[in-house]
Amino acid sequence: MSSALLNVNDLRIYYYTLTGVVRGVDGVSFQLQDGEVLGIAGESGCGKSTLGYGLLGLIPPPGRIAGGSVVLDGIDITKLKPAELRKVRWAKVSMVFQGAMNALNPVYTVGHQLAEPLVIHKGMSVKEALEVAGEMLKRVGLGPEVLGRYPHELSGGMKQRVMIAMALLLKPRLVIADEPTTALDVVIQAQIMNLFKEIKQRERNAMIFITHDLSLIAEVADKTAIMYAGKMVELGPSDNVFNNPAHPYTQGLLRSIPRLRGKEKITWIPGVPPDLRAPPPGCRFHPRCPYAMDVCRSEEPPTVEVEKGHTVSCWLYAKR
Amino acid sequence: MSSKLIMEKVFKYFPLRRSLVEILTFRPPRYVRAVDGVSFTVDEGEIFCLAGESGCGKTTTGRLIVRLLEFTGGRALYRPRKEILSEIPPQYIVEKEYVDLTAKLPRQVDKLLRRDVQIVFQDPYGSLNPRMRIYDILKEPLDIHGVGASEDEKREKVFKALEEVKLTPPEEFAERYPHMLSGGQRQRIGIARALILEPSLVVADEPVSMLDVSVRAEILQLMMDLKATRNLTYVFITHDLAVAAYICNRIGIMYLGTIVEKGPIDLIVNNPQHPYAKALIAAVPEPDPRNRFKIREVPIKGEIPSAANIPPGCRFHPRCPYAMDICKKEPPPEIEIEKGHTVSCWLYAKR
């Protein structure tokens, strides 16, 4: 599809460490349409945050994009020079970072930090920028008085709202949220999730929501992707992925979530995720998979469409 | 009575540092009232859960029970298992088989109680000494408490403990260092260390909150299996109500140093009464994609205030959508809604 807002093709992001090459993201492809919300879930170390940073061209060293392309609105991010990238970043794609507590600069007021991207990208005067910033704060449920405050004067939930306002400031087509509620209490988390739902309705920008908590993905995402050991093992409309999971890993994950109501027994996935310096041959999930066959141990599984728009990388569904 | 632990209006205040001006002007010292009149009982063999947001005092309460902190006031009666009880001098025993944890206890009694009440910590990465082998980590409590006559006997106990938490073969795991284990495996070491002295009460402080979902279930199951085989009683501290609903029998919901609602878990999950408990339960996300079309009703405002500056009256009133005049003046009474289910809220008080 050429009309997609974001087209990620065979993206590889490797960390070149002294002890070997860590394949953080290893051949991920997906597309995102305008206004769509994609949730990316997986356990710690599966590469979901690395993927998020990759989409902004913000991979920390020793990481590097080792291959593939990220085409956002017709521009291949992986080919841009740092100066060009700075123009795209925040204007076209922005990010709500993990741990809002530490993502704001403690020595500047909120107003200063919110005005900065407007001054730099849009050439506004500081006064104009503060006006726009105050307007944006209102849209995330904060009063204009917050502009004059320092981050330490705000609570965790308020800081996260400021971060969200900052991400929306330049009206980017795509907002990436990386574990945006992890450090927050559940009541505040619910309020922030409500805010994301409102934003989705109102701003109609596309969003990528990265979290380890499948329940939160169910709260906002139209499409759900599951990552395991650097690969995207399943991708589809949220209803299909949650109600009819295809990959044994997705099935295992969903069965391991305790529910508030309903007493069905939860189960777990035995074993641990592999070392990404030397992932197992064949399907990376095979050492933990209850259905592993011979072919899983030797050959990488193909990506198969099980329903319309619902793909899975698993030998169980491959016709041979 | 079959209560294992009876907490009666226990308090823990942490004094705040005073400035020179405050000292010179004889201003009264100020305190963080972390635990402020908490009462609950834990029955023999049950899992009692303390739940609430960060800063509500649940961890402090847990640490008081294991006496990592000293009580400021109140009464906390604990019934040790028989072998321990028989070694405690009679002057420290109250009501035949209880020990008051808030009393000043001599070292010898202290040590006996520490064998019987153990804790599993939240952070499996920070609670194991990185420079000790697993074998030494597990053997240390045995050395301190003089359990096991010979080195061989201790070795056997350590291996057995490893097997019990399913880290097999034990010979291999015993030689490793903590950094060589995954988060789930480390938390098993934490559990093995707590259980090696054969305690009868275990305080588990958020034991699964730092683990990935796929291993969380395994640790919860392990804890339940061990409880069954060893006849344990747990005080389970968590912020995750879904985990609480899965594992515990009864729950106490804490807010700013007090328990606002307590009772059997099913009653509280399906029929919460306190406005705070209602909001907390409504806020729990669930893996159902239909939720994305609805906004969750969490009518409470703002965030939890500092425990150094607790609002007068009902401490929840500044955030409560139903706050009345009386809520601002007087702390609410504890009212029994149905059998064993109590709530501290003026909404339910008959006046």
Q: How far is A152 from chain B (nearest CA, A)?
A: 14
DSSP3 helix / strand / coil % (chain A, rounded to 5): 40, 25, 40
Is the pLDDT score of B100 beyond 90?
Answer: yes
Average pLDDT of the segment spanning A198-207 = 89
Average pLDDT of the segment spanning A258-279 = 87
Q: How far is A237 from chain B (nearest CA, A)?
A: 10
Furthest C-alpha separation in chain B = 68
d(CA B73, CA B39): 12
**Residue A96 · residue A178 · CB < 8 Å:** yes
Chain B CA closest to residue A249: B214
d(CA B328, CA A5): 53
**No. of helices (H) and no. of strands (E), chain A:** 11, 12
User: What pLDDT, on the 0 to 100 scale, is given for residue B142?
Assistant: 95
d(CA A48, CA B28): 52
The residue among B180, B182, B186, B213 with the most chain A CBs within 10 A of its CB, best to mutate, is: B213
Is the pLDDT score of A105 beyond 80?
Answer: yes
The residue among B53, B180, B208, B214 with the most chain A CBs within 10 A of its CB, best to mutate, is: B214
Alpha helices (runs of H) in A104-220, residue ranges in sequence order:
110-122, 126-139, 156-168, 186-203, 214-220
- B213 closest CB neighbour out of A212, A218, A241: A212
**Residue A134 · residue A53 · CB < 8 Å:** no
Is the pLDDT score of B9 beyond 50?
Answer: yes
Phi, psi of B340 (to 5 degrees): 80, 0
Average pLDDT of the segment spanning B185-191 = 94
Whether B269 sits inside 8 A of A260 (CB atoms) is: yes
The pTM assigned to this predicted structure is 0.89
Full strand arrangement of the beta sheet holding B98-100: B31-43, B3-15, B73-78, B98-100, B93-94
- A218 closest CB neighbour out of B214, B288, B302: B288
d(CA B67, CA B58): 14
Is the pLDDT score of A222 beyond 90?
Answer: yes
Q: Which amino acid is it at B350?
A: K
Least Cα distance to B298 among B286, B308, B284 occurs for: B284
A242 touches chain B (CB under 8 A): yes
A105 touches chain B (CB under 8 A): no
User: What pLDDT, on the 0 to 100 scale, is given for residue B21?
Assistant: 87
Average pLDDT of the segment spanning B76-98 = 92
**Beta partners for A89?**
A93
Is the pLDDT score of A176 beyond 60?
Answer: yes
Average pLDDT of the segment spanning A214-220 = 93
Task: Tell me the CB-side half-sphere exposure of residue B265, using CA atoms within 13 A.
Answer: 23
Phi, psi of B51 (to 5 degrees): -125, 155
Domains and CATH numbers, chain B: 3-126+238-348 (3.40.50.300)
The sign of the torsion formed by the CA atoms of A294, A268, B191, B284 equals positive
Which helix (H) or strand (E) is B47 found in, with range? Answer: strand B47-51
* Mean predicted lDDT score pLDDT of chain B: 92
d(CA B201, CA B116): 6
User: What pLDDT, on the 0 to 100 scale, is given for residue A12?
Assistant: 95
Q: Which structure tokens are listed for B75?
A: 């009464």
Q: How far is B65 from chain A (nearest CA, A)?
A: 24
d(CA B16, CA B29): 7
Q: Which amino acid is it at A114?
A: L
User: What pLDDT, on the 0 to 100 scale, is given for residue A273?
Assistant: 87
**Residue A59 · residue A53 · CB < 8 Å:** yes
Q: Which structure tokens are listed for B177?
A: 């260092």
User: What pLDDT, on the 0 to 100 scale, is given for residue A320?
Assistant: 59
Is the pLDDT score of B51 beyond 90?
Answer: yes
A271 touches chain B (CB under 8 A): no
Is the pLDDT score of B343 beyond 50?
Answer: yes
User: What pLDDT, on the 0 to 100 scale, is given for residue B46?
Assistant: 95
Is the pLDDT score of A100 beyond 80?
Answer: no
Q: How far is B79 from chain A (nearest CA, A)?
A: 31
**Residue B233 · residue B46 · CB < 8 Å:** yes
Phi/psi-derived region of residue A275, left when phi > 0, alpha when psi is between -120 and 50, beta in every other case: beta
Q: How far is B64 from chain A (nearest CA, A)?
A: 23
User: What pLDDT, on the 0 to 100 scale, is given for residue A1?
Assistant: 45
A276 touches chain B (CB under 8 A): no
A65-95 pLDDT, tens digit per residue, is 999 999 998 999 999 998 999 888 889 999 9
| Cα→Cα distances B298→A47, A86, A133, A189, B273, Å | 33, 39, 27, 10, 14
Size of interface A-B (CB pairs under 8 A): 130
Is the pLDDT score of B351 beyond 70?
Answer: no
Which residues of A6-86 form beta strands (DSSP E)?
A: 6-17, 20-32, 37-41, 63-72, 75-76
Provide the CA A282 distance to its chain's centre, in angstroms.
26
d(CA B19, CA A319): 75
A33-73 pLDDT, tens digit per residue, is 999 999 999 988 899 999 999 999 888 889 999 999 999 98
Q: Name the pLDDT band for B55 (thresholds 50, 70, 90).
A: confident
* Mean predicted lDDT score pLDDT of chain A: 91
Chain A CA closest to residue B266: A261
DSSP3 helix / strand / coil % (chain B, rounded to 5): 40, 25, 40
d(CA A162, CA B152): 60
Residue numbers of A between 221 and 240 with CB closer than 8 Å to B: 221-222, 224, 238-239
Average pLDDT of the segment spanning B286-308 = 85
B215-229 pLDDT, tens digit per residue, is 899 999 999 999 999
DSSP string, B166-204: T--SHHHHHT--GGGS-HHHHHHHHHHHHHTT--SEEEE
